[in-house]
Amino acid sequence: MPLQLYDKERILEACFDVFARHGYANTSTTMLAEQAGISKALIFHHFKSKKELYFSVLDRCFEKGRIEMGFDTLLENQDFFEAKEKSSIIKFHYYKSNPDLMRIIREAFYTTPDELKMEIQEKYGVLLANNEKEWKRLFEKVSLREGVNREQAFRLVMLTLDYFDNKYLSDIKINDDLEERYLQDFLEERNSFLSMIRFGIAK
């Protein structure tokens, strides 16, 4: 492997550790250079700024997660609600095994630093929109009662799922080592909400 490429990958790995521990705002280029064991000048040889370096780290997190969680095949020929439950179980175990990666993802998309909000939206907005399109495509297979607006039904389901995603991230922020029992209780509560949406709440 060329020395320059090796250096860049080593820098990203070292800086991943720093961003995960301290967050974007509390991380300085001096801290990053010290962790990587190189000068700030060499860091800026590969990356123009701390912000560019952070986004490079975030890109690696996305790519690593996409490959290791296998979401590319999850949506193939699956029931929408079963696929959502499977994705939650996969993410729970993956983030539990990779807490530093989870911390970076959580900060980037749920407690986004003000300095990064516009760039996060521009850089990852299309990616997130495409992900939602895939879920919407799968939702097309769900049978709905006559007269139910499919777009509104999808939005209601996704709002509920977003609520539970935020709840999970809030809980894990308080306790980084959530047990399997938490996952069972979490899914049971979430599925009870989804059941009310699917089957109604009135007599």
Task: State residue 77's pLDDT score.
Answer: 63
Whether the per-residue pLDDT at 31 is higher than 90: the answer is: yes
Whether the per-residue pLDDT at 1 is higher than 50: the answer is: no
Q: pLDDT exceeding 90 applies to what percent of the chain?
A: 40
Residue range 155-167: average pLDDT? Answer: 92
Whether the per-residue pLDDT at 176 is higher than 70: the answer is: no
- The b/e string for 33-43 (b: 16+ C-beta within 10 A; e otherwise) is bebbebeeeeb
Assign residue 115 a region (left: φ > 0; alpha: ψ between -120 and 50; beta: otherwise). alpha
Identify whether the C-beta of residue 96 lies closer than 8 Å to the C-beta of residue 178. yes
Whether the per-residue pLDDT at 145 is higher than 50: the answer is: yes
Question: Any idea what DSSP says for residue 141?
Answer: T
Nearest to 136 by CA among 80, 85, 74: 80
Confidence of residue 179 (pLDDT cuts 50, 70, 90): confident
CA distance 107 to 126: 19
Angle at alpha carbon of residue 14, lines to 9 and 15, rounded to 5°: 95
Q: pLDDT exceeding 70 applies to what percent of the chain?
A: 93
- The b/e string for 81-93 (b: 16+ C-beta within 10 A; e otherwise) is bebbebbbebbbe
Identify whether the C-beta of residue 29 lies closer than 8 Å to the C-beta of residue 50. yes
Whether the per-residue pLDDT at 4 is higher than 70: the answer is: no
Indicate the pTM of the whole model: 0.79
Task: State residue 72's pLDDT score.
Answer: 67
Q: What is the CATH number of domain 51-199?
A: 1.10.357
Whether the per-residue pLDDT at 173 is higher than 90: the answer is: no
